[in-house]
């Protein structure tokens, strides 16, 4: 249960997300250099990055869950449960990888959304490797943007990856974008949002459809950002309405609760990463310029203990 939104400003956009997870999870920021072997494809071949990238990972292990590369291509990975329409075999003459590794592949190889989209026919995500053995291949879909402010969602359909332009600048979870937007348009006239009675009729739930509608409306109605800092401010204000407090949703699978474990955002102008934890209101920032040794993989750990800053 995660929510992603894109906030535009004059020279680009900020794209970010909530990471909602069913149990406590260790996470940290990770920088990956050019030439880094970020995965082994399904034929046993190592793949190497053309571009530097950074983002958030679980337990200091690849792959990135969200991130930005040195050219400003940004993206997020979200759960797409119940829609596992990936292939069940590898395809010769294509890049064969798991859904776990596709996000890293995208940031490692493309400068822009256009490049990514044009190369989709050459990508095969499979649930089995070249030996026919089952591999870890979770139900994922992806949202990407770049300095042009174009936004797309990449989803599996009938065994292939497809891209859809996303003028709504929002992604949650299942169902797919087409179904989400049908529900949205049934609730409000998206070309005449001033007439929508939001205090009374805006959904307040945390299911994927309610979060999609709420995120779209709050983002579209927010005062436009003129610069990157304003866009970050708008993002963190808007996304707070989708943040799930610890204890709000209890589940039977774990002796814990589903809540927002972290919130992060990336921009296409300065290629910054920003992140805050569920227990610390401070927002931390990392840029490629901050990395002194750009030749090696580097981890950065985020302070989770509650912090404040003195006024004087």
pLDDT tens per residue across all 312 residues of the chain = 799 999 999 999 999 999 998 888 999 999 999 999 999 999 999 999 999 999 999 999 999 999 999 999 999 999 998 755 789 999 999 999 999 999 999 999 999 999 999 999 999 999 999 999 999 999 999 999 999 999 999 998 888 899 999 999 999 998 889 999 999 999 999 999 999 999 999 999 999 999 999 999 999 999 999 999 999 999 999 999 999 888 877 777 767 788 899 999 999 999 999 999 999 999 999 999 999 999 999 999 999 999 998 998
CB 271 within 8 A of CB 228: no
In angstroms, the Cα distances linking 305 to 38, 196, 278, 311 are 31, 40, 10, 19
Q: What residues pair up with 136 in beta bridges, in sequence order?
A: none
pTM of full prediction above 0.85: yes
Q: What is the pLDDT of residue 258?
A: 85
Give me the count of residues in the chain: 312
In angstroms, the Cα distances linking 14 to 3, 35, 40, 271, 299 are 14, 27, 31, 9, 23
CB 34 within 8 A of CB 47: no
């Amino acid at each position: 249960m995660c929510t992603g939104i894109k906030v535009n400003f004059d020279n680009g956009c900020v794209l970010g997300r909530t990471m909602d997870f069913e149990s406590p999870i260790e996470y940290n920021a990770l920088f990956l250099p050019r030439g880094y072997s970020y995965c082994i494809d399904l034929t046993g071949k190592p793949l190497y990055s053309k571009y530097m990238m950074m983002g958030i990972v679980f337990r200091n292990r690849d792959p990135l869950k969200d991130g930005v590369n040195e050219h400003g291509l940004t993206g997020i990975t979200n759960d797409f449960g119940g829609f596992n329409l990936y292939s069940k075999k590898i395809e010769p003459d294509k890049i064969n990888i798991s859904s776990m590794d596709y996000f890293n592949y995208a940031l490692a190889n493309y400068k822009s959304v256009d490049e990514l989209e044009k190369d989709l026919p050459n990508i095969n995500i499979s649930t089995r490797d070249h030996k026919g053995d089952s591999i870890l291949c979770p139900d994922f879909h992806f949202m990407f943007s770049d300095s042009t402010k174009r936004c797309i969602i990449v989803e599996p359909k009938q065994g292939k990856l497809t891209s859809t332009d996303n003028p709504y600048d929002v992604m949650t979870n299942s169902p797919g974008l087409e179904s989400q937007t049908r529900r949205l348009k049934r609730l409000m006239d998206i070309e005449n949002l001033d007439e929508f009675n939001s205090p009374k009729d805006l959904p307040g739930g945390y299911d994927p459809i309610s979060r999609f509608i709420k995120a779209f409306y709050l983002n579209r109605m927010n005062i436009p950002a003129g610069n990157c800092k304003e866009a970050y401010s708008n993002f963190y204000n808007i996304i707070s309405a989708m943040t799930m407090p610890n204890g709000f949703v209890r589940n039977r699978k774990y002796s814990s609760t589903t809540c927002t474990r972290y919130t992060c955002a990336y921009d296409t102008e300065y290629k910054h990463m920003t992140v805050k934890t569920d227990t610390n209101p401070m927002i931390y920032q990392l840029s490629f310029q901050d990395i002194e040794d750009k030749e090696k993989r580097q981890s950065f750990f985020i302070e989770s203990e509650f912090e404040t800053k003195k006024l004087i």
